Each structure stands twice: as C-alpha cells, then as structure tokens.
Amino acid sequence: MKKSKKNKISISGKYSFVCYCFIIGFIFTMSLFFSIIDQRYNIINWPCEYENIIGIVLQLITAITAMIVSIIGISISLQNEKVFGIKLTTLYALRKRKHYSVLQIIIISISFCALNIAFYMLDLKAAVIGTSITILLFILQVVYLEVPIMVKTENSVKKILKENFIDCYICESETPKPIKNAVRYLLYSDTLKSTFEFLEVDSEQEYNKYTLIKLLEFQQDLAFDLKTQYDDHEKIIIGSSLLENVFDVLLRHIAFSEPVCSKVIENKHLLIRVLFQIQKLPEIQNQFSEKVGSLIVLLRSSRNISLDPDLIADVIIILSAWTIKEGDTIVINALRRRFSNYKYILEKSSYALDVFALLSLYFYYLSCSDPDVPPKIKQKIKEWIVEGDIIEKETKITSWKNLFSQAAINFQVNYDRFSTLAMRNASILEYYLYGTGMKWIIFEPSYIAQ
C-alpha cells in the first residue's frame, strides 16, 4: 500500500522529454523516408535554385549548432560558481529530470550535422530540410533544459532540489550531502516557509510530511553546528532566521494540512532542540527571550483555532525545564516578564494558567523535593521565586511567589488539562541521575499548598 501511494508522485518532465524526443525522431525518419521515395518517383518538382538555398540553410544550421553546442559545453564545464552554497557543476551531476549530458549533446549534434551533409551530397532534399528542422528542435530543447541552470535562475536550481527530494522519498534513500547543504543554506538565506512551499506537492500529503520533517531535521543539524562552524556575524544572521522559522511552524504561518501538522507535533523535538541551541547564543538572546515570552500570551485565549495550544504549551514547558536544570533562567525570566505585564491571565481558566501552575509545581519540586538537584541550583531557584520589585527590560517584575498567590485566589486551573500536560511531559519534568532509583510525587493538597 505504501509503495502504491508513492507511485502517484513522480519527477516532472520525464514524459514531456520522451514525447519531444519521439517527435524529433518521427520528423527525421519521415523526412528521410519521403526523400528516398521522392528521389525515386520525383513526387516533388524541385526548382533549380532550391539546391543553392538548401546549401546555404545547411551551412547556417551547421554554424549555429556548432556555436551553441560549444557555448553550452564550455559553460557547463567551467561553472565553478556556487549557488545556494554548492558548486553549479555539482548540481548538474545531481539532476534527476531527464536531460542530455554534455557528451550526448556533442555526439547528437555532430551526428545530425554529418547526416545533413551526407543527405545534401546524396541530393535528398526533403531529408536535408527534415534534418535541419530536427537539429533546430534539438537545439531548442537543449537550450530550454540547460540555459536556465547556466544563468543560475533560482527556480531552475530549486527544481533540482525538489527532484532530489522526490527521488529520495520514492526510493527511501538518504538525501545527498550537497542537496542537504543547499537546503541548509536556503533555510537561513530564504525561509523555511518559502522553501517548503516550493518543495511541496499539492494533494501529496505523505510526501509533504516527509519534506517538512526533512527540512526540520536539516535545520536542527544547522543549529547544532552554529557554535563551532560559524563566526559571530553569521551566528546572528543564521540564528535569527532559524528562530523565525521555528515560530513560523509554531504559529502556523506555513500553510500545511492537518496530517502534516500532526506529523510536526509528533516531531516537536526538532523545533525545541533548535530553540535550545539558539538560546545559547549571547548575540540573539534578547530576540530569543522576547519571542519565547510571547508564546505564553498566545495561550491566554483559545479563540485562535489555527494554533495548536498543546504544542505551544509543550514547547514552553520543555524549554523551561531544560534551561532551569542547567541553572539558566533566560526562559523563565521571559515568562515572568509576560505574567508581570498580563496578570489578568492568572485570573481565569486558560492554557497559560495551566502552564503557570505546572511550572510552579515543578520549581517547588526542584528546589524542595528532589534530593539529586545540586544545592547551587536549588538555591538559585529559591532566590528566583521570591525575586521581585525590580525593573527588567522596562518591565516592573512581580515575583513568581506573588504571581502564584494571585493565581491561588480563584485557582481556575483546568485539572484535566493540567494532568494531561504533566503526564505528557513527565520525562522532562524531573531531575535525575542515572541509576536504579525511582521517583514519584503524590499530588496531595498539602504538597501542592506548599
């Protein structure tokens, strides 16, 4: 069943290439056949001056063919410039769409010209005309296939990437490294949104799932390479682009279907790992904290049906847990600033309040309940919880303790959502050392009240 679905998608241009070649071959064969019959039975009464005209046309066709073939052959062999971060000659070698190699172009062109001269010498006038038309059609086909890539037309180069994605999907093979590098380049020089929209295929949801997940995997690899393979200026450019890409996915700025969205949710770690690597870059920490902080505000209302609140909530919870375990408060500081500005979020039931309650319980668990948490991190969390009445990025900060006191007045937490969030992220919401031990928390009123 899986294979039959994959057979529905194919690389474009295959059938048009074959049909065009058939037309060229048909014209050549029929003109030769007709010319032989004409020479025997004198079907057409050719005027005397036609021989000279055909001779001149033959010379022009031969000269044009030699010129165009020489230009294309030399240009292709000397294309060492990079497009999307890889050499154009490498792209030529990776084309999946039907095309002629440089050697084939030269051999076919020489063969047609030689046959045309032979037909002229044998006085096969119709064959000369037919072969001349055939040569022109062949040259037009070569120009159509080769010139857009030679002049580095963006769409033509992107089509090579799309052909390889489709081929890897059909064959279930690994993406070639040059293609991967080119896509990584596009992810920050362009955007993930425009790259996906170019690579996707309408009504082919399985392929679209494959494509988006591959893009997210390449983006994750790029994020992990940021710290070691790029200078400070490149880190700012690439990190900012990747941050925007992640938020385009989270906020559904990319028009993908529900099946594709479900696949993204299954692989949310590909988004979170990118954010985790970006927050380690001092150059864009301000941009990062503002973006992450804005997520909690989006959860205050369920009116925006295009967003997936579970995905956004999981991203906030996992990022907060990962960073605080390392003693980094950049994420929870961003959340505290937003809660300080939008205290009304804590007064009524919402995903934002559920996340706030779960994180509050987690902070208490780390600072008071788990014996494996280093004392330094425990103390840092305790100090952070009561830290308030300070100005942070033009915001007067209310301590997390006071924020929780305000939320506890009505405590409009949706316990079903709360428990679902806790269970879904249970593996993240613990601090453990590898060993044979086991930990659990019993949610008694006395424990939560603390």
Model pLDDT, residue 326: 82
pLDDT at position 322 over 60? yes
Report the C-alpha gap between 129 and 27 in whole angstroms. 10
What pTM does this model have? 0.83
Model pLDDT, residue 435: 46
Model pLDDT, residue 144: 87
Question: Which are the contacts of 387, defined by CB distance < 8 A and separation ≥ 6?
Answer: 397, 399, 400
Model pLDDT, residue 434: 46
Model pLDDT, residue 431: 64
Average pLDDT, the chain: 84
Question: Which are the contacts of 149, defined by CB distance < 8 A and separation ≥ 6?
Answer: 88, 91, 92, 156, 157, 160
pLDDT in tens, 24-33: 999 999 999 9
Question: Which are the contacts of 118, defined by CB distance < 8 A and separation ≥ 6?
Answer: none
pLDDT at position 248 over 90? yes
- Evaluate whether 385 touches 401 at the Cβ level (below 8 Å): yes
Model pLDDT, residue 184: 94
pLDDT in tens, 9-51: 777 777 888 899 999 999 999 999 998 888 887 777 777 666 6
pLDDT at position 142 over 50? yes
Model pLDDT, residue 188: 92
pLDDT in tens, 348-400: 888 999 999 999 988 888 888 777 888 898 899 999 999 988 888 888 999 99
Model pLDDT, residue 283: 83
pLDDT at position 302 over 60? no
Burial of 147 (0-12, 13-18, 19+ CB in 10 A): middle
Model pLDDT, residue 202: 84
Per-residue buried b or exposed e for 6-35, using 16+ beta carbons within 10 Å of the residue's own CB: beeeebbbeeebeebeeebeebbeebbebb
What type of residue sits at position 282? P
Q: Which residues pair with 86 in a beta bridge?
A: 83
pLDDT in tens, 59-68: 788 788 877 7
